[in-house]
Amino acid sequence: MRRIEPASGTGQSGGVGEADGFTIVEVVLAMGILLLGATAILGMLTFGAALTRSAQLRAAAASAVSAVEADLEQVLFPFEDGRVGEPVEITARAVPDTPGVVYSAKAVQNPDHPREYRVDVRFSWNSAGVQRARSYTTLHLRELSFGERLRREFVEKTGGFEKKTADVAVEQ
């Protein structure tokens, strides 16, 4: 059995004139590679954070639009004297569950289909001291809202959907 002996002398690799350790060129090269990798990782983290923020803003916007649509269904066509009335113009109404955001809506009747209305909705809010706004257009029918029909059907027990919606039909 052969036994391996450690090299004699401290700091010597066993060869003549060779020292243990790294040269300054090797250290600088390793630091450059490390810096390049760290820069790439930080760039990806920044990009990921921007995507996350964008997704959060889009989700909040979708939630606000959904809340406005539900609100419009309830208030756009008032139910008066057993009939669905003409659309009301909505001005600077707070968006439900979205503080600091208001919306306005105006309905325009389709001349070819009297029960159909184009509704132009405009959101507005302040961001960093600047007034911002976005708009979209949707279609609504002049009819009793779904929530009102459900309330009449199940809470007030006033009759079926077919019977009640026929009773509150809009004149054409």
In a domain, 158, yes or no: yes
- The answer as to whether 89 is a domain residue is yes
Residue 114 has pLDDT above 70, yes or no: yes
pLDDT of 50 above 60: yes
Flag whether pLDDT at 150 surpasses 90: no
Domain count, the chain: 1
Q: How would you classify residue 82: left for phi > 0, otherwise alpha for psi between -120 and 50, otherwise beta? A: left
Establish if 18 belongs to a structural domain.
no
Query: Is residue 31 in some structural domain?
Result: no
Look at residues 126, 125, 145, 143 and name the one whose alpha carbon lies nearest to residue 135.
125
Is there a domain that residue 67 lies in? yes
In a domain, 68, yes or no: yes
pLDDT (mean) for 29-48: 92
Q: Is residue 11 part of a domain?
A: no
Length of the chain: 172
Report if residue 5 sits inside a domain: no
Residue with tokens 């919606």: 165
State yes or no: pLDDT of 108 exceeds 60: yes
Q: What percent of the chain has pLDDT over 70?
A: 80
Average pLDDT, stretch 25-38?
94
Model confidence at 22, pLDDT cuts 50, 70, 90, reads confident
Other C-beta atoms closer than 10 Å to the C-beta of 120 total 13
Structural contact between residues 119 and 76, judged by C-beta atoms closer than 8 angstroms: yes
pLDDT of residue 171: 46
Expressed as residue numbers, the domain containing 142 is 49-167
